[in-house]
Structure 1
Amino acid sequence: MKKAQGVTGRRSVGKVVGTLGVTTIFCSALALTSVAAHADSGSQVQLYGLIGTYVGSVKRSDTPQATALMGSGGLTTSFWGIGGKEDLGGGVSAIFALESFFQPQNGAQGRSSADPFWSRNAYVGFTSDFGRLTFGRQRNPTYTEESLVNPFGSSTVFSPLVLQTFVTNYGGTIIGDTVWNNTAEYTTPNFKGFGATVIYGLGGVAGSPGIGNLGVHLNYQGHGLTAVLSGQRVRYTAAGPVGAQYAYLAGAAYDFKVVTLYGAWAMTSDVSTPTGSHTYEAGLSIPFSPADFLLAEWARTQRSGPTPATNSLRNTASLGYDHLLSKRTDIYAIYSFDKLSAHPTGNTFAVGIRHTF
């Protein structure tokens, strides 16, 4: 899995390196939280996170058989973190965040063994009336923007839009992870609902100063409307010369009270291969009550390239029911359909639970 804040759309939210190491870090986090309660009012430290899991039968179109499993995350990838803020005076504050993905079904660190310990975010920076400037490992804003314009939010398990663009097993069209290393990110203040983010990731490749990621992102939220526009460039090294992929996203969601409608378009172009893709997404969320929501989403991706092997068409759809047990806990049931050209259909059935803390 390549890529989560809180409960999706409605509430803004290798193996563990030894039991002793994790226990020490966790206890340190609790100690920091305790110290913060006695610190001056200009300094704040918080421990927070989300834990979720699901059980079900999972089958993609290009796999021969279904797999019965207990999976990590589900609607939101499980994580925990420590965040802090200190008032420096003059309206400026220093901020930091250290966040780690984990797998509750087996206790392992990260989304997979390839993740570093602080796999979700690890940054430090400043915030003021002039915006926010941070440095470190940070979430890719394109992924964040996608989560705003589909009913399954940031889910790398059930959202057709996220699956087809970011998840390798589903032929994800966007090169790179949902988190970028070595980045500097600036986010503007909110101005009447409008905001912008610019992110740059240094490549860190000796002799290749031009290897780096760049993203420019615009969004608007207000009067029931959410709209996003993103563009990013990812440069990479392979067996041959330096490659570059350009990815673009445009999407919107509108809350009509009785239903929220979603739509998005994404495009990628690799100038060195050459290959490309076009993705279209549509979805809706219907609130049957303040605690009950019907979610539905469909995405279609057409990949194109110079050979038959690089040409394909994929359709993925998900239908779900989400019930809020409280402000911090929800349960859900989801069915997903997947069809890749030249392969039989795949069907996934799952039920899950999430809890924020």
Structure 2
Amino acid sequence: MTTAKGDTSMRTRRIVTSMAAAMALAPWCTQVQAQSTSVQFYGLIGSYVGTTKVSGAPSSTTVVNGGGLTTSFFGFRGEENLGGGTSAFFTLESFFQPDSGMYGRTPADPLFSRNAFVGLKGRYGKISIGRHMTPTYISMQAVNPFGGSVQFSPLVVQSFIPAFNNAVLGDSVWNNTVQYSTPSFGGLVGTLDYAPGETAGRSGVANTGVHLRYDAGPLTAVASGQRVRLLSTATVPVLTEQKAWLAGFAYDFRVVKVYAAAVGTETYGTPTSTRTWSLGATMPLGRGYRLIAAYAHTDRDTPKLASTDRRTGTLCLDYSLSKRTDLFLAAMNDKRSGAGSGTSTALGMRHTF
């Protein structure tokens, strides 16, 4: 009995000592936890089966493609609290093609093709360095109901996709970019981005952008301007410069959310100007269903050539299986002047993680 009591007493003293040590170390452990980097893995995978045909194509193609309403991607992001209201952060994101298992949107894409940057943020705003999705493209996603869809958003395909004679030059992602965003002033945030081009002896080969975004309640409004300079790889390099602007808004009336946007470009070297406008809406139908519709029209003027125009419209029925998974049925019609129309269709699925 005496030995048992001694063992019990010893165990009690050890427990008390351990608790005291834990209490003494608690503030230090909390500080380490606060200053450690938290890393998150996330992404979206989407695929669809359907047909594709742009205006002027001789026939349609039956496809099983990745993406659809959103290009598939995965990413890692992390943030470390440095104290004093300042944090370090990073983002690494890669596009991928679930229909083939390849990474990137095309074979030309690097591994982290969507975003790859590191930066600091605090009361002064946010600054980051690396490869960035352009604020113009991000702003465009906010003011059309199909977001960043490179297959079925009329505004995006007419602006960025070569098969639709894209109005905006350059990629929707810029390399070697320094980007600064202001703090939010009552919902208004400004962003500046600069990519020097890294061309020896050609310091003027640079991309720049100035962007504003306002979010307050049901209203989102954007205004964006960018200048892109592209240097050809020909024996005698040719510099092409384009200035582009975007303005638009989205307003949620609850029974329907409406979208409107306008895009303009002026290209020098081979002078060309374009004017694009877009209208769209999303309407909840109940029981997880919603209707998505959008239309875009682009006029293109090139000296000594006849003016041309393009009209693209998409209608989509989307059904939410859960907060992270949905099914969609979409149809898009495309018509450019001087060519027959083309229709693309899709039955697909998206899942976020």
> Does the alignment reach a TM-score above 0.5?
yes
2:327 maps to which of 307, 316, 331: 331
Report Cα offsets for 1:63-111 as digits up to 9, x if no partner. Answer: 1110000111111100111111111111111100111110001101100
Aligned to 1:259: 256
After TM superposition, the structure 1 = structure 2 runs for residues 1-357 of structure 1, keeping only pairs within 5 Å, are 40-42=33-35, 43-238=37-232, 239=236, 241-289=238-286, 291-308=288-305, 311-357=307-353
Query: What is the rounded CA distance, in whole Å, between the counterparts of 1:46 and 1:205 in structure 2?
Result: 35
Cα distance, 1:290 vs structure 2: 6.7
Number of equivalent positions? 318
Report Cα offsets for 1:215-256 as digits up to 9, x if no partner. Answer: 100011113111100000001113554221000001011111
Q: What residue ranges of structure 1 are gaps of 5+ in the alignment?
A: 1-38
TM-score by length of 1: 0.87
Query: What is the rounded CA distance, in whole Å, between the counterparts of 1:304 and 1:224 in structure 2?
Result: 36
Report Cα offsets for 1:278-332 as digits up to 9, x if no partner. Answer: 00100111111272210000000011102337x3210000000111111111111
Query: What is the rounded CA distance, in whole Å, between the counterparts of 2:257 and 2:98 in structure 1?
Result: 31
SS in 2 for 1:216: strand
Aligned to 2:27: none
Query: What is the rounded CA distance, in whole Å, between the counterparts of 1:82 and 1:221 in structure 2?
Result: 26
**Distance change (3 Å), C-alpha of 1:148 and 1:66:** same
SS in 2 for 1:233: strand
Which protein has the larger Cα radius of gyration, Structure 1 or Structure 2? 2
Query: What is the rounded CA distance, in whole Å, between the counterparts of 2:204 and 2:91 in structure 1?
Result: 28
**For residue 222 of structure 1, what is the amino acid of its counterpart?**
A
Residue identity (%): 47
**For residue 96 of structure 2, what is the amino acid of its counterpart?**
F
Bigger drift between 243-252 and 40-49 goes to 40-49
SS in 2 for 1:192: coil
SS in 2 for 1:308: coil
Query: What is the rounded CA distance, in whole Å, between the counterparts of 2:178 and 2:107 in structure 1?
Result: 26
Report Cα offsets for 1:96-149 as digits up to 9, x if no partner. Answer: 011111000110110010000110000001111221100000001100000000
Alignment root-mean-square deviation, CA = 1.2
Bigger drift between 183-192 and 286-295 goes to 286-295
Contact 2:45–2:350 (Cα < 8 Å) also in 1: yes
Aligned to 1:29: none
Q: What residue ranges of structure 2 are gaps of 5+ in the alignment?
A: 1-31
**For residue 331 of structure 1, what is the amino acid of its counterpart?**
L
**For residue 171 of structure 1, what is the amino acid of its counterpart?**
N
Query: What is the rounded CA distance, in whole Å, between the counterparts of 1:165 and 1:287 in structure 2?
Result: 27
Query: What is the rounded CA distance, in whole Å, between the counterparts of 2:181 and 2:349 in structure 1?
Result: 32
Query: What is the rounded CA distance, in whole Å, between the counterparts of 1:333 and 1:113 in structure 2?
Result: 28
Query: What is the rounded CA distance, in whole Å, between the counterparts of 1:330 and 1:204 in structure 2?
Result: 42
Query: What is the rounded CA distance, in whole Å, between the counterparts of 2:286 and 2:190 in structure 1?
Result: 34
Contact 2:182–2:191 (Cα < 8 Å) also in 1: yes
**Distance change (3 Å), C-alpha of 1:290 and 1:252:** farther
SS in 1 for 2:191: strand
Contact 2:244–2:266 (Cα < 8 Å) also in 1: yes
SS in 2 for 1:41: helix
Cα distance, 1:345 vs structure 2: 0.8
TM-score by length of 2: 0.88
SS in 1 for 2:145: coil
SS in 1 for 2:33: coil
Report Cα offsets for 1:42-77 as digits up to 9, x if no partner. Answer: 320111111101110111112111000011111110
Bigger drift between 101-110 and 235-244 goes to 235-244
Contact 2:170–2:230 (Cα < 8 Å) also in 1: no
